[in-house]
Structure 1
């Protein structure tokens, strides 16, 4: 059997999460595990029905997944692949396989998740759009769950503003849910990636969505909750983020608005109150650098001999917003000259303007 077939057979065994699979792989590769005598597999903690499925997976299910992976722009990433996103691999139970439609490279770029209510208010929708636009301007991938409401507005805004976005589904990628977002899903596949740990024909089920939420937070360097009721799937994502040592951000809201009670509760519990994208950029530096450094081999390289202008100005713009007058003071140059240089650097994609000044992009 092929490498893909071996991993699909392993992923089809019920009761084996990423952590358990990692323990099994300490005793051999997937193909070696499948060839082990039954007594040895029993000694490793597998049960007889699990061993039977590992050795003889249901052919119709296996063939369905293999056919899906053969189609254009559709991929399978397994836990041991070099391109498997490093941040996701570090969570307590990473998915053994990921079905992807789109470019798998985006899963290893620094991502920030935006999640929130399906019945978002006008302010919530506007915030989702504005924050998504600011994040992609700073070269972050916007990650969410393709749901109606905040998720959809965040995905739309990322695409509209020329950025990439990743949608993690609680169904198989052959069963796009919700149906109202099928066209959006097609756009995301062309300009980002759709991701699911569920087999392509798997329908959406209530128990799938908490599992989906751990992937949203696991891929991301931080999670922004825009609007959420006290009992909300967005709060599940936030809890996973805390368990995974990710930053959690929340927009404050009226004490009288049910849709703000979840965000306000998160802030009371220690989430960072956010009023602008700068509040996020101040916190996510370490994990962002980790995500960048882990995937140099799959990132698009820039020419080594590329020379950037205005070194004095560029040296005084970092990952936190710096006002123009501060940059001018540090460079000992007139404000109007520094402004001209910053505008040219922005046109080259080296810096970007945010509330409070300028920050450097990854290209810078």
Structure 2
């Protein structure tokens, strides 16, 4: 992959300061080539990056130490492709967000990002056989029409979504809440490897970043941003799944919910969504019709 010199300098900065692109707006305004900011007084750099002077000094020192590293070559040795937000390969749908990722680190078939039809399937980490069975009605029509299945590689509904896409011969994108050198949950290690080899792994974090409680809510906006539509299988009324739905609504995406039995707590989320205007979903053809 060909990166401009400015993009290479962004990789060095993002490695030590992995924040969304909107955090770099002021920096690009005063230093569009990213060549002078290391010479700024600490107070000025702190103001531009909206951090404390102590943090700005630490960022400056870390970039100086790491600036000579050939990040592009190092990532390539691990099969990782960095895609800065200024690069033509960067998904246009993410650029419409308030806080798009500054860099996407991907592993696998990067061309999947350019596919026009993507649908996110999400739900509870405690999703039951009901979600798994529901996907047998939803995923095959999507795969048949070359729709890419997007999810977050979490336990439960996410795992069912990725596995269903693979089972029915489709393609899937897994959006991670950590760097590519890590895996969470551990039991999805083999699934991560399969997706990284034959499908696509995506994250906004440099490879060394470990999974943290705050990184997964940030990941949710990317799951929403990549997709044309969102499908919720099972979810509690208050859950991380609902945060992804909120992002989808903010992005103007179509939202579908799989109705469930009123006796199940994991049906409270989808059933409540339907009462508030989400479309009840019983098969994948409904989504295909809307996408067309």
**TM-score, shorter chain, exceeding 0.5:** yes
1:248 is matched with: 255
1:249-288 equivalences in 2 (<5 Å): 249-284=256-291
Match of 1:82 among 72, 78, 88: 88
2:127 maps to 1:120:
yes
2:110 maps to 1:107:
no
Distance in 2 separating the partners of 1:255 and 1:5: 53
Distance in 2 separating the partners of 1:170 and 1:78: 18
Which runs of 5 or more structure 2 residues have no equivalent in the other structure? Answer: none
2:140 maps to 1:145:
no
Please state how far the C-alpha of 1:156 moved relative to its aligned partner.
Answer: 1.2
Pair 135,14 (structure 1): closer, same or farther in 2 beyond 3 Å: same
Please state how far the C-alpha of 1:142 moved relative to its aligned partner.
Answer: 0.4
2:16 maps to 1:9:
no
**Alpha-carbon displacement from aligned partner over 1:259-282 (angstroms, at most 9, x marks no partner):** 100111111222221122222223
Question: TM-score, length-normalised on structure 1?
Answer: 0.71
| RMSD, aligned CA | 2.7
Structure with higher RCO (Cα < 8 A, 6+ apart) = 2
CA contact 1:14–1:50 (8 Å) conserved in 2: no
Match of 1:195 among 202, 225, 228: 202
Pair 4,264 (structure 1): closer, same or farther in 2 beyond 3 Å: same
Please state how far the C-alpha of 1:212 moved relative to its aligned partner.
Answer: 0.7
1:24 is matched with: 27
2:99 maps to 1:93:
yes
Please state how far the C-alpha of 1:196 moved relative to its aligned partner.
Answer: 1.0
Larger radius of gyration: 1
CA contact 1:168–1:215 (8 Å) conserved in 2: yes
Match of 1:154 among 145, 156, 161: 161
2:174 is matched with: 167
1:56 is matched with: 61
Please state how far the C-alpha of 1:233 moved relative to its aligned partner.
Answer: 1.4
The count of aligned residue pairs is: 285
2:229 maps to 1:226:
no
Distance in 1 separating the partners of 2:18 and 2:108: 29
1:236 is matched with: 243
**Alpha-carbon displacement from aligned partner over 1:80-102 (angstroms, at most 9, x marks no partner):** 00110110121110010111111
Query: For 2:235, what is the secondary structure of its paired residue?
Result: coil
Pair 24,240 (structure 1): closer, same or farther in 2 beyond 3 Å: same
